[in-house]
A and B are shown apart, each in its own frame.
Chain A
Amino acid sequence: MSALKSSVTLCILIAFIIASSISCSSRRGLRYSLYPVPAATPVAIIVDSPNNVKNVVLMQFLKSGYRVKAFNASDFYTLDDVYDLKDFKRISYYSGSDTSLISMEKTFNNIYKLHVYNFELNKVETLDEIKNKYNVQYLILLDLKDWEQVSWGRVIDLRTQDIIWVENYPTKYGDNLESVVNHFITSMSKK
């Protein structure tokens, strides 16, 4: 009797482990499209992945008929090297340790905020230049994740600088790199 009980408990435990490993991320998928990004449109793609993965992503877009412009996120800006806001903040507070400047909290607070506004302005100006110089219409951002995590994508229409498509896609058990990218391509190319 006791052996039977143990077997049942073991089975339940195994079933629970299998069920929990099959299930995807607890985050639900979501999608919004203001208007489609049609094939043959000139696009720039930012993927936060190694080069071999980037190549696969670019290839899928090329196969689907998009005019993919050569573009690297580091051409756009290097967040960590050029505009390191964290370092900037540290320097500000270091200056504040000067005893003659004990009440510069507002100044430092304001400098940080202006720096953020400036940073956003620089980014959008660079995107404007990229749009005009290379005739890019859409900026596509992708972050591709493994099974049980959420892959996500976002499209910006560079003519208006508006966000026109977002999707969170919980990567499924049977997915691979190509299938996830193709899913995103299909999703963004329809309303």
Chain B
Amino acid sequence: MKRAVIAAFLALTVLVTLRADAVPTMAFGYLSNSSDDKNFDYLESLFTNSFANSLNKLFNVNVIRPGEVDTLLKKHDSSLQKKYQPFEVQDLLEKINADYFINGKFAPLPDNRIKITMSVFARGHNSIFTFTNTGRLETELFKLVDRIALVMTDFFGDENLYRTEVIQPGKKLAILTNIDGPDLNELYHAFLSKGYKLASMQGNYVKNYMDEAEIGHFKYIAAAENQYDIFSDTRTFVFKYGTWASDPYVEKVTYMRNMLKIYDFGYNSVRNELLGKLSARFGGIDNLLVIGFDSGVGSAWVRCINVREKDLVWMQSNITGKSSGDIANKIIERMSTKLQETQ
């Protein structure tokens, strides 16, 4: 079981990258109107059709627009829904034979602004990437569409890049990683030399307790606005009760229910409370950087949480270098440069 879990885990750790030799198929669902104002319903398919057109221009991809998805689903006595539970998407992808499914929701905001939340699912993976973008409804509508399409371009690129925040020198960082000793010092040296303050998290002991697979758990960051996380198939959470149930059985089932309640459904609030305490103890952390290195310390991935906002603000994969210091310098260069129009 352990081996199977690790194998599945390793398969999941790499965000699916569009390969040049395979033309992937991206299917688009609706962008559901999460407000009560029906006047905005027309945007539900308009947005996703626009994203589909933009991505079609930017990538060598096969695109299935919402109307076409609906037609394909009709062959399976089904139809395209406005909303899906994450675990339902895998069945949908199988039926329409697509590699990715992209849908989302929008909410009109005051001052004629709109908030768009997009979700990206990959076939065969129980992970979800969700990101949020806000813009003006009338004057910036198509700019917003292009911006979101370009966020996806970065995400589907070799680096699986997503970034919403510039982290300038002077900020206080805490770093979680899987290296120690001189490698960790080299990493710290790069950040300190560039003017960042470093909380001593993990640096306050001689050895590191995490290996490459263990740091991999932190590839998944759950947050309210932007996240890359695993989703559960809640259909499998069946806890049967009956007159036949013995006390030990009931005790075990209750224990498991509580585990799910706290660590799955309630994880964000528990994690946020802990992050708040950690930040306070370390004198106020601005950003938590998780940097996972491969065993040869020649390649790394990054996840960054804004500790005050408790949001995922940056993720990137495949950062290569000759040493931990070399990789750290590349990380610093990226995190401190201003965001492009797309980011």
Contact = CB atoms under 8 A, between A and B. Distances in A.
B205 A121 contact: no
Given A97-B1, A111-B263, A117-B275, A166 B188 contact: yes
Interface string A83-119: 1011001100110110011111111011111101111
A85 B188 contact: no
Given A112-B214, A163-B203, A124 B282 contact: yes
Interface in A130-174: 139, 141, 143, 150, 152, 154, 156, 160-163, 166-168
A104 B260 contact: yes
Chain B interface bracket (under 10, 10 to 19, 20 to 34, 35 or more): 35 or more
Contacts of A167: 185
Interface stretch (A9-17, A26-34, A61-69): A26-34
B265 to A, nearest CB: 10
A114 B275 CA distance: 10
B246 interface: no
Contact of A121 (B206, B210, B264, B278): B278
Contact of B232 (A31, A104, A156): A104
A166 B185 contact: yes
A10 to B, nearest CB: 35
A73 interface: yes
A190 interface: no
Contacts, number: 166
Contacts of A105: 5, 8, 126, 230, 232
Contacts of B209: 79, 83, 85-86, 119
A32 B203 contact: no
B232 A106 contact: yes
A48 interface: yes
A175 interface: no
A30 B186 contact: yes
B176 interface: yes
Give the 4 A-B CB pairs with smallest separation, nearest first.
A103-B236, A97-B1, A156-B200, A48-B206
Interface of A: 27, 30-32, 34, 46, 48, 73, 76-77, 79, 83, 85-86, 89-90, 93-94, 96-97, 100-107, 109-114, 116-121, 123-125, 127-128, 139, 141, 143, 150, 152, 154, 156, 160-163, 166-168
Given A103-B237, A123-B204, A141-B206, 20 more contacts: A86-B209, A93-B5, A94-B1, A104-B260, A105-B232, A106-B220, A106-B264, A107-B259, A109-B220, A110-B222, A111-B259, A114-B263, A114-B271, A125-B281, A141-B204, A152-B185, A160-B283, A162-B199, A166-B188, A166-B189
